[in-house]
Amino acid sequence: MVIGSMRLTLHLPESHSLKGKRQVVQSLTHRLRRTFNVAVAEVEEQDAWQVAVLGVACVSNDARHADAMLTTVANWVAEDAGGGEALLARHQIELLHT
């Protein structure tokens, strides 16, 4: 079994309050769950208005599949994060073999 995890750091230049940030983050996490069937949660920077750090996880029986899935998620976020309201600053993928 392979557990794939990814940390996505997003910049939210149009967010001027925690409420605005929450709307963007909730919309994005909902779309990620629905589109890719992955687990998603905001894991850091909860009090920062213009930065969001999301953790994304998937489980697979093949490391290549888990890596490809998370890379696809990162590319999708880079192209359409928050409907243009969020910019992907960086991502980091880790695979855990159990």
For residues 71 and 58, give the distance between their C-alpha atoms in angstroms, rounded to a whole number.
Answer: 12
Alpha carbon 61 to its chain's center: 21
Q: Which domains does the chain have, with CATH numbers?
A: 2-97 (3.30.70.1120)
pTM for the model? 0.86
Instruction: Give the pLDDT confidence of 22-37 residue by residue, as tens digits.
Output: 988 898 999 999 999 9
Mean pLDDT, rounded, of the chain: 90
For residues 63 and 95, give the distance between their C-alpha atoms in angstroms, rounded to a whole number.
Answer: 7
- pLDDT, position 80: 75
Residue 74 has a CB neighbour count (10 Å cut-off) of 19
